[in-house]
A and B are shown apart, each in its own frame.
Chain A
Amino acid sequence: MTTQTVNDTALPGAAAEEAGGLRDKLRLLMRGDSASHVGVTQVLVGLAAIWIVFSLLNPNFVSPTNLTNLALQIVAVATMSIGVVLVLLIGEIDLSVGSVSGLAATVMAALNVKQGMPAFVAIGLALLCGLVVGLIHGTIIATFGVPSFVVTLAGLIGWQGLQLLIFDYTGAMNLGDPKVLALTDTFFQPWAGLVATVVIALAMGLVTRRRRARRRELGLGNRSAAFDVVRLVAFAIVVAVLILVFGINRGIPLSVLIVVGLVVLMDFIARRTLFGRRIYAVGGDAQAAERVGTNVKRVTIQIFVLASFFAALGGVLSASRLMSVSQSAGGGEVLLDAIAGVVIGGTSLFGGRGSVWSALLGALVIGSISNGMDLLALRSPVKLMITGAVLVAAVIFDAVMRRRQSR
Chain B
Amino acid sequence: MTEPLISFRSVSKSYGAVRALDGASFSIEAGEVVALVGDNGAGKSTLVKVMSGTVVPDTAEITVEGKPVKIHHPNDAAQLGIATVYQDLALCNNLDVVANLFLGREHHKGSLIDELAMERETIDLLAELAVKPRSLRVPIGSLSGGQRQSVAIARCLLGNPKMIILDEPTAALGLAQKQQVVELIRRLKARGLAVVLISHNLAEIFAVADRIEVLRLGRNVGSFPGDSKYTDDVVAAITGARITSSEAVA
Interface of A with B (CB < 8 Å)?
13-17, 33-35, 211, 214-215, 218-220, 272-277, 280-281, 283-285, 287-289, 291-294, 351-353, 405-407
Sample (16) of A-B pairs whose CB atoms are under 8 Å apart:
A15-B115, A16-B119, A17-B135, A34-B96, A34-B138, A211-B116, A215-B116, A218-B120, A220-B116, A220-B123, A274-B106, A274-B112, A291-B90, A352-B92, A405-B139, A407-B142
In contact, A405 and B113 (Cβ under 8 angstroms) = no
CB-defined contacts of A284 to chain B, threshold 8 Å: 92-95
- Let me know if B90 and A292 touch, CB within 8 A: yes
Contact yes or no, A13 B94, CB < 8 A: no
CB of A273 within 8 A of CB of B92, answer: no
Report chain B residues within 8 Å CB of A15. Answer: 115, 119, 136-137
* CB-nearest residue of chain B to A20: B135
A17 to chain B: which residues have CB within 8 Å? Answer: 135, 137
Evaluate contact between B103 and A281: CB separation under 8 angstroms: yes
Distance (Å) between the CB of B138 and the closest chain A CB?
5
- Chain A residues within an 8 Å CB radius of B66: none
Given A16-B119, A275-B111, A292-B104: A33 in contact with B95 (beta carbons within 8 A)? no
B95 and A35 form a contact (CB under 8 A): yes
Question: At the interface, yes or no: B108 with Cβ under 8 Å from chain A?
Answer: yes
Extra contacts besides A16-B135, A16-B137, A285-B91 (9): CB < 8 Å: A33-B139, A218-B117, A218-B120, A280-B94, A283-B94, A352-B92, A405-B139, A405-B141, A407-B142
Measured between beta carbons, the chain B residues less than 8 angstroms from A351 are 94
Return the CB mask of B114-149 against A: 1 if under 8 Å, else 0: 011101100100000000000111110110000000
Alpha-carbon distance between A246 and B59 when the two chains are bound, in angstroms: 76
Min C-beta distance of A326 to chain B, whole Å: 41
What is the CA–CA distance of A142 and B180 in the complex, to the nearest angstrom?
40
B99 on the interface (CB 8 Å rule)? yes
Report whether A277 and B138 are in contact in the complex, using a CB–CB cutoff of 8 Å: no
With the chains together, A284 CA to B140 CA distance in Å? 11
Residues in A neighbouring B111, C-beta threshold 8 A: 273-275
Q: How many contacts between A and B, using CB within 8 angstroms?
A: 102
Chain B residue at minimum C-beta to C-beta distance from A91:
B94
Most B Cβ at <10 Å: residue of A276, A289, A292, A407 = A292
| Residues B139 and A34 in contact, CB atoms below 8 Å apart | yes
Contacting residues, chain B, for A352 (C-beta < 8 A): 92-95
Question: With A and B bound together, what is the CA distance between A281 and B106 in angstroms?
Answer: 12
Output the nearest chain B residue to A281 by Cβ-Cβ distance: B92
With most chain A CB atoms within 10 A of its CB, the pick from B93, B95, B136, B141 is B95
- Closest 6 A/B residue pairs (Cβ): A292-B104, A284-B92, A352-B94, A284-B94, A288-B90, A16-B136
A400: min CB distance to chain B, Å: 15
Query: In which size bucket is the chain B interface?
Result: 20 to 34
Question: Chain A: which residue is nearest B133 at the CB level?
Answer: A16
Chain B residue nearest to A286 (CB atoms) is B92
Bound complex: CA A280 to CA B115 (Å): 15
* B93 contacts across to A, CB distance below 8 A: 284-285, 352
Among A219, A273, A285, point to the contact of B120 (Cβ < 8 A).
A219
B104 touches A294 (CB 8 A): yes
List of B residues within 8 angstroms of A35 by Cβ: 94-96, 139
A283 to B112, CA, bound (A): 20
**Bound Cα distance from A393 to B19, whole angstroms:** 57
Do residues A293 and B104 form an inter-chain contact, with CB atoms below 8 A? yes
Evaluate contact between B138 and A285: CB separation under 8 angstroms: no
Q: Which chain A positions have C-beta within 8 A of B104? A: 289, 292-294
Q: Which residues of A contact B119 (CB under 8 A)?
A: 15-16, 218, 220
Whether B94 pairs with A353 at a CB distance below 8 angstroms is yes
- Chain B residues, Cβ within 8 Å of A406: 141-142
- Closest chain B residue to A268, Cβ basis: B112
A285 and B113 within 8 A (CB): no
Contact A292 B116 (CB under 8 A): no
| Beta-carbon nearest neighbor of A407 in chain B | B142
Q: Are A218 and B116 in contact (CB under 8 A)?
A: yes
B99 nearest in chain A by CB position: A277
Q: Per-residue CB proximity of B158-185 to A under 8 Å, as 1/0? A: 0000000000000000000000000000
> CA A291 – CA B106 in complex, angstroms?
15
Q: Are B94 and A287 in contact (CB under 8 A)?
A: no
Which of B92, B113, B119 gathers most chain A CB within 10 Å?
A: B92
Please state if A280 and B95 are interface contacts (CB–CB under 8 Å).
yes
A12 — nearest CB in chain B belongs to which residue?
B115
A293 to B155, CA, bound (A): 14
Closest-by-CB residue of A relative to B102 is A277
How distant is the Cα of A214 from the Cα of B119 in the complex, in angstroms? Answer: 12
Shortest Cβ distance from B97 into chain A, in angstroms? 8
Q: Smallest Cβ distance from A208 to chain B, in angstroms?
A: 13
Contacts of B139 in A (CB 8 A): 33-35, 405
Complex Cα–Cα for A273 and B106 (A)? 10
A288 neighbours in B (Cβ, 8 Å) = 89-92, 103
With a cutoff of 8 Å between Cβ atoms, the chain A residues found around residue B117 in the complex are 218
A236–B92 Cα gap in the complex (Å)?
36
A351 to chain B: closest residue by CB: B94
* Cβ of B111 to closest chain A Cβ, rounded Å: 5
B76-108, CB < 8 A from A? 89-96, 99, 103-106, 108
Whole-angstrom CA separation of A226 from B190 in the bound complex: 44
CB <8 Å contact, B103 and A292: yes
Task: Tell me the bound Cα distance from A352 to B141 in angstroms.
Answer: 12
Q: Contacts A277-B99, A289-B103, A352-B94: A272 and B138 contacting too (C-beta < 8 A)?
A: no
Q: Is the CB of A405 within 8 A of B95?
A: no
Q: Is the pair A272, B113 in contact by a Cβ cutoff of 8 Å?
A: yes
Q: A284-B94, A285-B91 are in contact. Are A214 and B137 (CB under 8 A)?
A: no
